[in-house]
Amino acid sequence: MSYEFITVRTEGDKVGIITLNRPKQLNALSPQLMVELGQALKAFDADPAIGCLIITGNEKAFAAGADIGAMATYGFADVYRDDYITRDWETIRSIRKPVIAAVSGFALGGGCELAMMCDFIIAADNARFGQPEIKLGIIPGAGGTQRLPRAVGKSKAMDMALTGRMMDVREAETAGLVSRVVPLDKLMDEALGAALTICGFGQLAVMAAKECVNRAFEGTLADGVMFERRLFHALFATSDQKEGMDAFVNKRQAAFKNQ
Ligand code: CAA
């Protein structure tokens, strides 16, 4: 498939890499870009050879938010009728393989929200995060008011949403928004290394781990622990569990078959 606002490639036939590609607009997330992103995510998720996905941008911007020019003329009837955001942006929530955000430069508004919708964020030392929607007379609309407090706590999330200020990468790492910080020129190596590590494990266990961690954000502790326990039990029905444990006991490398 050919795309106008993203580029797509694979690494080692195992990692699907999606690069947001509207550099002149700092990768502003237009409706068409989000449709293309959803299509590419779904295609990689359906490809049995792919074990992990990466979404990235360019040096200056991961994404500076939803496309303000496109939104400027929308009225309530347009956004409500078209189910703006939900219809195209939430595709990523249905992706079952891990999705890593490799962030450099600005990750603002919808860009910060897109990064937070990924499973974890690896950031370059020039990354800056923020929810500046308040300056536009709106509020974050792609989950920012919900995912940011879960990531960094209420006080900092409230500060970001109410003042619209940016967080540099050190603050983001200390607050728990990003999992690793690396020099800009090492960003893709680090993200690929993490992705290839994940691809080396059994896909069923990887998908179950992702599903369980996501549960921690959407229900009570008791429900989450029960969900985890059931999937943990279910993995004992897989050949990958036999293989992984036999390999450990016999001091050899495991060869997972994703079964
Ligand atoms: N939408 C559309 N265009 C954008 C954009 C956006 N979110 N962000 C940047 N651009 C465009 C600029 O209009 C500019 O275009 P022109 O060259 O045609 O004028 C180009 O990208 C470069 O931007 P700047 O000249 O502003 O670059 P800068 O380095 O001086 O500033 C910036 C960078 C601080 C990120 C600034 O561009 C900025 O504040 N951008 C808007 C950030 C923002 O408000 N994001 C939230 C959007 S709303 C949202 O996302 C809603 C939601 O929750 C879903």
Band of residue 47 on the pLDDT scale cut at 50, 70, 90 = very high
pLDDT band (50, 70, 90) for residue 206: very high
What pLDDT, on the 0 to 100 scale, is given for residue 214? 95
| HEC string for 42-108 | HHHHHCCCCCEEEEECCCCEEECCECHHHHCCCCHHHHHHCCCCHHHHHHHHHCCCCEEEEECCEEE
Structure tokens at 94: 């249905």
pLDDT of residue 48: 96
Are 167 and 129 in contact by the 8 Å Cβ rule? The answer is yes
Ligand 1 pocket mutation, candidates 67, 68, 165, criterion most atoms within 8 A of CB:
68
pLDDT digits (tens, 9 = 90+) for 148-160: 999 999 999 999 9
Q: What is the mean pLDDT of residues 60-77?
A: 96
Is position 110 annotated as part of the catalytic site? yes
Average pLDDT over residues 55-67: 98
pLDDT (tens digit per residue) in 99-150: 999 999 999 999 999 999 999 999 999 999 999 999 999 999 999 999 999 9
Catalytic choice (66, 107, 115, 124): 66
Helix (H, G, I), strand (E, B) or coil at 168: strand
Give residue 218's pLDDT: 83
pLDDT band at residue 217 under the 50/70/90 scheme: confident
pLDDT of residue 25: 98
The dihedral region occupied by 85, where left means phi > 0, alpha psi between -120 and 50, and beta the remainder, is left
Q: What average pLDDT score do residues 240-248 get?
A: 95
Is the predicted pLDDT of residue 72 greater than 90, yes or no? yes
Confidence check: pLDDT of 242 > 90:
yes
**In this structure, which amino acid lies at residue 203?**
Q
Return the structure tokens found at 157.
């999330």
Q: Find out whether 204 and 235 touch, Cβ atoms under 8 Å.
A: yes
CB atoms within 10 A of CB 226: 13
**Per-residue pLDDT for 179 more than 90?**
yes
Stretch 179-205: mean pLDDT? 98
pTM above 0.85, yes or no: yes
pLDDT band at 1 (very low <50, low <70, confident <90, very high): confident
Give residues (CB < 6 A) around ligand 1. 25-26, 28, 64-69, 85, 106, 108-110, 113, 132-133, 136, 140-142, 144
